[in-house]
Structure 1
Amino acid sequence: MRAVKNLFVLYTGGTIGMLQTAEGLAPAGGFEARMRAHFADSDDSPRLAWRCHELQPLIDSANMQQANWLAMRDAIVEAVEQDGHDGVLLLHGTDTLAYTAAALSFLLLGLDVPVLLTGSMLPAGAPGSDAWDNLRGAFRALEQGQPSGVRLSFGGALLHGARATKVHSEAFEAFAAPARQRHGERAVALPAALSYRQPRQSVKLAVQPLFPGLQAEQLRAVLATGVQALLLECYGSGTGPSDNEDLLAALREARQRGVLLAAISQCAQGSVVFDTYAAGSRLRDSGLISAGGMTREAALGKLFALLGAGLDVQQAEHWFALDLCGELAD
């Protein structure tokens, strides 16, 4: 824990800096000037030094892509290693804020500075907006000192970057860390391939929820798109239609082709423990690995970071099963 003295603010777009257009709210540049003008008139302005960089193109976070995550990672690493910043505040839209927080948690493993993400439900300047409160809260947290790693600061809460999820579409307290059961072995040391210095590439990922009536041909259609990994959202503790031999065969065939198959629970406070039910054991035996108590955001971000680093399926499965930054174990 150390207080940040030289902060890098990375503005990526999102509601916090949007302005009204003829088509509705849209990302707008010049947010640094608006921030400085607001703080100049405030009795609670930040005491630390900070500079702001706008990541182009500014986007509505509903348009977030893996390439944007990689651009954020590059900008953050450059700001820390080349420009000497000792902390990062990333301004982001709320729709995919938890996904980005999770992805960066794994893309920035080993970076020895705190990285906070925040945004707002209403634009800065709108009546009753939460924007300035969220900004002040994030600045204050960094001034007081934060541990290295990625966290989400929003609505008065400070959440682990790989545990947060969006739970409200309108309330200012929009994010929470569901109380999922966390049990997993911590990684003793990280290989160089998973360091924040490791370049990454895009990865073809897919998510498939289980539901009564899911057919094997539907699952095969998803798997036939060339995905490198499939995240299967299972029932309860990791169960699924264990009597559907065709569906189980589709999973086995995909794993034999080199597709990484991982399972999370659909339950907000769930955790995958395959051996609890025979229906779970059959999924495991078809080639799935457990994501334990990881959220969808964390599991996707972790798959992206592992496969994007060039790990093969066996290596990625090994590290996926271990806790890398607090996503699996308390």
Structure 2
Amino acid sequence: MNPTQKLLVLYTGGTIGMQMSEAGLAPASGFEARLRAEQAAHPERPVPAWRFGELLPPLDSANMTQANWLAMRDAIVHAVDEDGCDAVLLLHGTDTLAYSAAALSFLLLGLNVPVVLTGSMQPAGVAGSDAWPNLFGALALLAHGVAPGVHLYFNGQLLHGACASKLKSEAFDAFADHQRPRHGRHLNELPAALHYRQPRQPVRLAVQPLFPGLAAEQLRALLSSDVQGVLLECYGSGTGPSDNPAILAALSEAHARGVVLAAISQCPQGHVEFGVYAAGSALAATGLVSGAGMGREAALGKLFSLLGAGLSQAEVERLFALDLCGELAE
């Protein structure tokens, strides 16, 4: 963990840089000048040498898309490989911060520098805001040295980028490790297709929670909507309506067409273990692959990275079940 010598601060928008408009708080440019003024006002804070980059237009993170994930990945790769940066601090809105951290965890496999994401619950400049503490807290960590990989820093905590979730909508301690069981076999060697220098493509993904009363017609409509992968949020240890043959048939038919079907638990601290109940075994028999203890953010980001690399259905399923960056094994 070497001290950062050349840092890219990459601004994407979010609450941290928002300013008041007629319609309420809105993303705004001009954050570099505000950051430099705040740094100059507090020269005692440890800060590595940094340069500023901005993805335009600045976004409310509620509007983040896969295209934005790819743009962030491209900017980070260029900063490291072309400009010689040895770390990146990415400023991002909180609504989808954990999703972007998870996606980048899998888009940047093999990158040997730290990438830290942070944001704030209140804008910079507001009295009592968490914006400057979060930003300069992350800068201080980078000045001392952070391990390579993707991290999320918030309210004094440095979290694994693929294992964090937003749990609160207003409090400053909004993010935490989701504390799901992480037991998985680690990938021995990174396939060339998953290396961070390999570009990715947008992917048609969907998330479907199971709930009492879910109709087979509803599920079939989703599975027939030209999706490449579906993340099924199951009950408990990976169970679902196993006595509904129409639902099981819809899943089996979609899998036969090449749709990747992945399963996670709806329980905040749960994990999928299909064989515990017969209901879970019935779902697994349709072609579902277990997401073990991954949260929604990690599972979705992992599917995006694997499918976006152009891998086959079988290879996506094989790699999805393996630990790629610490999302399944501590």
Shorter-chain TM-score tier: over 0.9
State the SS of the aligned residue for 1:25. Answer: strand
Aligned equivalents of 1:47 and 1:178: distance in 2? Answer: 30
The equivalent of 1:137 in structure 2 is: 137
Give the equivalent residue in structure 2 for 1:110. 110
Task: Identify the residue that residue 11 of structure 2 maps to in structure 1.
Answer: 11
After TM superposition, what 4+ stretches of structure 1 lie above 6 angstroms from structure 2? none
Aligned to 2:241: 241
Provide the residue aligned with 2:195 in structure 1. Answer: 195
Match of 1:159, as an amino acid? L
1:229 corresponds in structure 2 to: 229
Tell me what 2:151 maps to: 151
> Residue type of the partner of 1:250?
A
What code does the residue aligned with 1:154 have? F
Quick one: distance in 1 between partners of 2:323 and 2:291?
10
Q: What is the deviation of 1:45?
A: 3.1
CA deviations on 1:111-138 (whole Å, 9 max, x unpaired) are 1100000000000001110000001110
RMSD: 0.7
1:326 match: secondary structure: coil
Q: Distance in 1 between matches of 2:73 and 2:45?
A: 28
Map 1:153-302 onto structure 2 (within 5 A): 153-302=153-302
Matched residues, number: 330
Q: 1:237 & 1:135 partners in 2: Cα distance?
A: 38
Q: Please give the alpha-carbon distance, in whole angstroms, between the structure 2 residues aligned to 1:284 and 1:111.
A: 34
Contact 2:7–2:50 under 8 Å retained in 1: yes
Q: Give the secondary structure class of the aligned counterpart of 2:56.
A: strand
1:46 positional shift = 3.6
Q: CA deviation at 1:44?
A: 3.2
Q: 1:192 to 1:147 in 2, by over 3 A?
A: same
8 Å contact from structure 1 (residues 101, 117) kept in 2:
yes
Tell me the alpha carbon deviations over residues 268-301 of structure 1, each in whole angstroms, 9 at most, x when there is no partner: 0000000010000000001100000000000000
How far the C-alpha of 1:56 sits from its partner, in A, is 1.0
Greater alpha carbon shift after TM alignment, 173-182 vs 160-169: 173-182
Letter in 2 for 1:178: H
Cα contact 2:220–2:250 (8 A) shared by 1: yes
Residue of structure 1 equivalent to 2:20: 20
Residue 63 (structure 1) aligns with? 63
Q: TM-score scaled by structure 2? A: 0.99
Equivalent position amino acid for 2:327 in 1? E
Farther off after superposition, 37-46 or 58-67: 37-46
Q: Aligned partners of 1:255, 1:68: CA distance in 2, in Å?
A: 29
SS at match of 2:168: coil
Asked if 1 retains the 8 angstrom alpha-carbon contact of 2:138 and 2:153, the reply is: yes
Gaps of 5+ in 2: none
Q: How far apart in 2 are the matches of 1:212 and 1:140? A: 48
Tell me if the contact between 2:47 and 2:136 (Cα under 8 Å) persists in the aligned partners: no
Q: CA deviation at 1:43?
A: 4.1
Gaps of 5+ in 1: none
Separation in 2, partners of 1:323, 1:145: 25
Stretch moving more, 40-49 or 62-71: 40-49
Confirm or deny: 8 A CA contact 2:251 2:286 kept in the other structure.
yes
Q: Which amino acid aligns with 2:143?
A: E
8 Å CA contact retained: 1:39, 1:46: no
Q: 2-side partners of 1:79 and 1:225: how far apart?
A: 37
Greater mean deviation of Cα atoms: 38-47 or 259-268 = 38-47
Match of 1:76, as an amino acid? I
Question: 1:224, CA displacement in angstroms?
Answer: 1.4
Please tell me whether the aligned partners of residues 115 and 149 of structure 1 are also in contact (alpha carbons under 8 angstroms).
yes
Question: 2:45–2:140: 8 Å Cα contact kept in structure 1?
Answer: no
Helix, strand or coil at the partner of 2:248: helix
Deviation at 1:106, TM superposition (A): 0.2
Partner of 1:328: 328
User: What CA distance in whole angstroms lies between the structure 2 residues aligned with 1:127 and 1:306?
Assistant: 43
